[in-house]
Structure 1
Amino acid sequence: MKKLILGSALMLAFSVSFVSCKEATDKAKEAAETVEDNAKEAADKVADETSKAAEEVKETATEMVDGIPSFDDAAVAEYVKTYDEYVSEYKEAAESKDMTAFAALGTKGQELATKSQEVMKNLSADDAKKLTEYLTAKSKELQEYATKMTN
């Protein structure tokens, strides 16, 4: 009888341990899958953030080289290009103290001011900020050139 009870107890212990091992294996698999899913999500997020950061660096580098920010609207980009040419001509006239060229630039400046009102109508918030920063910087340059010319 002892052998029967002992054998039954052993069988019960083995069956409990096999069930426990199976549950532990299942839980381990689930945990591994969860970790894998989280790792993929994290890797995707890092890749997206890295891509965005790289694009921002590229835009900033382009702006630093050209001095001209990039805009979504082609009309704004064309306006900024024209304005940059105006600033270059202004600089040349101021450095050479050419009053005739400087007077001709007055008309061009008025045309650009009129065109800026048209261009600003369709700006996104981001482009408006970029344009304002660009025009502020260029205004400071123009003031410096005018000061050099009068000295």
Structure 2
Amino acid sequence: MKNFLKITCCLLATTAIVSCKQDPKTDKMELQEQVEDTLPAVVEPVVEEKPVVKKKKVVKKKKTKAQIKAESIKKLTLELKSKGLPTFNETPAMIYIKNYEKYVADYRKAVEANDMDSFLKLSDASSALTRQYRTLLNSLEGEEVAKMSRYMQEKSKQIDALSANM
């Protein structure tokens, strides 16, 4: 019985060996596991690159002081003309007109608000305008002095009318 068992075991082992050798491909090759990608392929959008266009720097010429002054005088002249105010050959006279217009506007606001604190603040502005006016009268020439006098008479009438409303 021992022999019988030995023979049966040998036969089983040979049968297993012979059954493996029936496939000639498996004898010569090692089994390799093939990996299949089960995820769908992600397609990246193609971005069309635009060529980089370099902008040319615009070189601004620096303005001279004379050019800046001329532009500011022109701007001031246009501003006064648009408001129907007189213009002068002398820049300080036009600056005075602009400052005086601001003073009259502030005076009007103070009268309408009946605010005495605003009147106190306006007294300093009035003193500065008086000094500026005296200096201007010495520097202006004949026709411009007359133009300035007419302007001041009109503004005095406006201020008197505002003061009467208080």
Which TM class, normalised by the smaller chain length? Answer: 0.5 to 0.7
Aligned match of 1:140 in 157, 160, 165?
157
User: Is 1:112 paired with 2:129?
Assistant: yes
- Report the alpha carbon displacement of residue 94 of structure 1 after superposing the two structures with TM: 0.6
Partner residue, 2:93: 76
Partner residue, 2:103: 86
- Report the alpha carbon displacement of residue 79 of structure 1 after superposing the two structures with TM: 0.6
Q: Distance in 2 between matches of 1:68 and 1:86?
A: 15
Q: Distance in 1 between matches of 2:87 and 2:120?
A: 30
- Normalised TM-score (structure 2): 0.50
Q: Distance in 1 between matches of 2:111 and 2:152?
A: 19
Structure 2 residues not aligned, in runs of 5+: 1-76
Q: Distance in 2 between matches of 1:98 and 1:113?
A: 23
Aligned match of 2:119 in 102, 105, 117?
102
2:148 counterpart SS class: helix
Q: Distance in 2 between matches of 1:126 and 1:85?
A: 24
| Code of the aligned partner of 2:154 | A
Residues 1-151 of structure 1 mapped to structure 2, 5 A cutoff? 63=81, 65-149=82-166
Question: Sequence identity of aligned pairs in percent?
Answer: 26
The C-alpha deviation readout for 1:72-115, integer Å capped at 9, x for no partner, is: 10010101110111011001101111110011101110110011
- The number of residues matched between the two structures is 88
- Report the alpha carbon displacement of residue 124 of structure 1 after superposing the two structures with TM: 1.5
1:134 counterpart SS class: helix
The C-alpha deviation readout for 1:12-49, integer Å capped at 9, x for no partner, is: xxxxxxxxxxxxxxxxxxxxxxxxxxxxxxxxxxxxxx
Greater relative contact order (Cα < 8 A, sep 6+): 1
Q: Distance in 2 between matches of 1:98 and 1:67?
A: 29
Q: Distance in 2 between matches of 1:85 and 1:68?
A: 13
Aligned-residue CA RMSD (Å): 1.6
The structure whose Rg is larger is 2
1:72 counterpart SS class: coil
Is the 1:68–1:81 Cα contact (8 Å) retained in structure 2? no
- Normalised TM-score (structure 1): 0.55
